[in-house]
Amino acid sequence: MTNTKSDYRRSHSEAGKGREYQANFRLYKWRAHLWSREQEVLKDIVGHHFGDRPVRHLDFACGTGRVLKLLGPHVSSSTGVDVSESMLEVCRAECPESRVLLGDVTQHDLFEPGSFDLITAFRFFPNAQDELRRIAITRLANLLAPGGILVFNNHKHSGSITFKILGLVGRSRRVMSFGEVERLVRAANLRIVSTHSMGCLPAEERLMLFPASVHDAADRVAGSLGLARHLGQNQIYVCCKQ
C-alpha cells in the first residue's frame, strides 16, 4: 500500500532516474499514447488562449523536459524548474534553449510574483501528498500574470473506470477525484475554465487492452455524451485567477 505520508519531492532524486523516466515514455504503451494525446491538447490550449501574443512559460516539476520541448516553439521564453538533478540532467540536453533551474518553488521564492503567462504542471498533483498539492498550487497561482493560465493534469482520476477497477482489486495508490481538484483550485483563488478528458477505457501504464484507435473512438463517444469528465483517467485542467 502507498505510504501517503511520504514526500513526493524525494521520489525522483536517485541517480539515473531521469534517463529511466524518459525511456518509459517510449517503453510503456499507455503512457506513450496519453502523451501523444496530451501534446495535441497542449498546443491547442496555447494557440487558443494566446494566439500570436508573447508567452512567458514556466513548466513546474519539469522533469526531463517533455512539456518544455513541446511548447518551446510556441512561446517566447520557457523556464523549467525541478528538485531532481537526475531529471534535469536529461532536461538540459533535451531543451538547450530553455532556462532550466534546480530548485523548489514550494519552499523558496525563485521567481517574482506575476512572472509567467503560462504555467504547466504535468504528472505532479495526483502523485503529491495533500499538503504539497496545496502549497504548490498556491505558489503557482501567485506566479501567474494577469490573464495568465495554469494548465495541469490529473492522470489518476479516481472516478475513472481504470482506477475504480484497481481499487476493487486492492491496488491502492494516490489518486485524485474531480471534487478534490475543484477544491484545490478554489483554495488557490483560481477557477477551471476548461477540462480536456481522455482515457475512458481501462488501461494502465504498460498495458493497453485495445488498439489506440479504439481508445480514441471511445473518448470521442464519451465526450459527445458528456461522460468523458467522469470516465477518463486523464483530465487536463485550464485554470485562471478568480
**Per-residue model confidence as pLDDT tens for the chain (242 residues):** 334 348 898 888 889 999 999 999 999 999 999 999 999 999 999 999 999 999 999 999 999 999 999 999 999 999 999 999 999 999 999 999 999 999 999 999 999 999 999 999 999 999 999 999 999 999 999 999 999 999 999 999 999 999 999 988 766 678 999 999 999 999 999 999 999 999 999 999 998 999 999 999 999 999 999 999 999 999 999 999 98
Length of the chain (residues): 242
Distances (CA, A) of 6 to 18, 82, 89, 128, 132: 20, 18, 24, 9, 11
Domain membership of residue 2 (yes or no) is no
Per the structure, the count of domains in the chain is: 1
Asked if residues 118 and 151 have their Cβ atoms less than 8 Å apart, the reply is: yes
| Residue partners of 195: CB distance under 8 A and separation at least 6 | 229, 235, 236, 237, 238
How many Å separate Cα 171 from the centre of its chain? Answer: 22
Contact between 84 and 12 under an 8 Å Cβ cutoff? The reply is yes
Question: CA-to-CA distance for 216 and 219, rounded, in angstroms?
Answer: 5
CATH assignment of the domain containing 108 = 3.40.50.150
Domain ranges, residue 50:
8-241
